Structure 1
Amino acid sequence: MTQLALVIDLNVCVGCHACVTSCKEWNTSGEAGSLADFSPYDADPCGTFFNRVQTFEAGEFPDTETVHFPKSCLHCEDPPCVPVCPTGASFKRKEDGLVLIDYDKCIGCKYCAWACPYGVREIDEKRQEMTKCTLCSDRIHNEALPERDRKPACVLACPTSARLFGDIHDPESEVSKAIQERGGYQLMPEWGTQPANHYLPRRKTQVQVRAEEVERADNALQLERQFERGEINLAAMARQ
């Protein structure tokens, strides 16, 4: 069974929000309808987005780093949002594994949002309908578009190629190989929802590796000097 998904490389995401704006632009003009925006240029803007980028600081001072974490619907293989929908508006499509919403059936009850452990469903306050990422389902199968353009808008807009798209069930696909080679992981797998989207973990940069080498060398030098000054008794340490 085909399972289309995103694989996001956290090592090269720079938090530019190109994925956010391109997603908003495409889905506002596509099948998803006009997504609400209230006071977009005021101090407290509020709107509906399918894709958001969360930025936070990781580590302990002074060894900290900024992490940009894009998050949208994970198109779970066992989506908890589907069985709770009282009208059948939320469903998982068999041919490509996408979790979608039939807007004609949605009554805006928010049951699916409560059931989603990832907080990626948003109510459109203007239309009173639940919305979420569709992986640009109206684009990826559109034969009127050149094949190179049959990808989600966020993937095409990413300037660093941090977002990959494909069938994670195809062992020869780009996304499957990236998951296997880079140790791709699911978000909160303990919930048992089997998220289709995966993340590629951050790798240490050459600067970080060099800093660790310098620290180890400095620690070794300090131990050697302490031993020369008689501050360390190796025999006593060995007996402990």
Structure 2
Amino acid sequence: MTQMALVIDLNVCVGCHACVTSCKEWNTSGEAGSLADMQAYDADPCGTFFNRVQTYEAGEFPFSETVHFPKSCLHCEDPPCVPVCPTGASYKRESDGLVLVDYDRCIGCNYCTWACPYGARELDPKRKEMTKCTLCSDRIDNQALPERDRKPACVLACPTSARLFGDIHDPDSEVSRAIRERGGYQLMPEWGTRPANHYLPRQKTQASGCSTQSCGCGSDGASASGSAVPATGLQGQLDSGRIDLAAAAARA
């Protein structure tokens, strides 16, 4: 069975939000319908987004790191949102494994939102219908578009190519190779939902260190022999189990 999905490279995501804005623009004018933006510039804005980028500061100065974590529907292979839907509005498409919503059948009961452990669904406050990432199904199915354009809007807009799209069940696809060769992982696999979307981890780097004389941060940085201080940034914290960024992002 085909399972289309995103693979997101956390090592090169710069948090520019191009994926967020392109997603919003395409889906507001596409088959997903108009996505609400109410009081967008007031003190209490309200809007509907399929894709968000959460930013974290991790580590301790001077070895702290900024991490950008894009998150949308993960198109689980065993989606808990589907069986709880009382009208059958939420369903998993057999042809490509996408988890979609039939807006004509949705009654806005929020059962699917409560069932999703990733917080990936948003009830549109104006339409009173449940919305979520469709991986731009109306783009990837559109035979009138050139093949290179039959990809999600977020993938086409990413300036650093941090987002890959393809069939994770095809061992020769770009996404499968990336997962296999770079240690791609699922978000919170302990829930047993088998998320189709994967993340590529940040690469381990050696902290270069700095000197009090050069930057005034108060860190010794390098030893007298010039050797660098061992990496103590985000990846080191993840390896040591001191923080669980993926779980934090999923619950945010």
Question: TM-score, structure 2 length as denominator?
Answer: 0.83
Secondary structure, counterpart of 1:60 in structure 2: coil
> What's the counterpart of residue 35 of structure 1?
35
Contact 2:23–2:153 (CA<8 Å) still a contact in 1?
Answer: yes
CA distance in 2, matches of 1:59, 1:217: 25
> What's the counterpart of residue 14 of structure 1?
14
Secondary structure, counterpart of 2:190 in structure 1: helix
> What's the counterpart of residue 188 of structure 2?
188
Which of these two proteins has the greater Rg computed from alpha carbons?
1
Post-superposition CA distance 1:178-221 (Å, at most 9, x none): 0001000000000000000000000134xx3544994595689x
| 1:136/1:215 CA distance change after superposition, 3 Å | farther
> What's the counterpart of residue 108 of structure 1?
108
Which residue identity lines up with residue 112 of structure 1 in the other structure? C
- Structure 1 gaps of 5+ residues are 221-240
CA distance in 1, matches of 2:9, 2:153: 17
CA distance in 2, matches of 1:94, 1:59: 43
- RMSD after superposition: 1.8
Post-superposition CA distance 1:57-77 (Å, at most 9, x none): 112333210000000000000
> What's the counterpart of residue 197 of structure 1?
197
Post-superposition CA distance 1:67-102 (Å, at most 9, x none): 000000000000000000000000000110000000
* Greater mean alpha carbon deviation, residues 91-100 or residues 61-70: 61-70
CA distance in 2, matches of 1:111, 1:215: 57
Structure richer in helix, relative to its length: 1
Secondary structure, counterpart of 2:59 in structure 1: strand
Contact 2:63–2:207 (CA<8 Å) still a contact in 1?
Answer: no
CA distance in 2, matches of 1:215, 1:31: 60
- Structure 2 gaps of 5+ residues are 211-220, 229-252
Question: TM-score, structure 1 length as denominator?
Answer: 0.87
CA distance in 1, matches of 2:223, 2:50: 43
Count residues in correspondence: 218
* Greater mean alpha carbon deviation, residues 36-45 or residues 131-140: 36-45
| 1:119/1:216 CA distance change after superposition, 3 Å | farther
Contact 2:136–2:151 (CA<8 Å) still a contact in 1?
Answer: yes
Which residue identity lines up with residue 12 of structure 2 in the other structure? V
Give runs of aligned pairs for residues 194-233 of structure 1, distance below 5 A. 194-205=194-205, 208-211=206-209, 214=222
CA distance in 2, matches of 1:66, 1:161: 19
Hey, which bits of structure 1, 4+ residues long, moved more than 4 A? 209-220
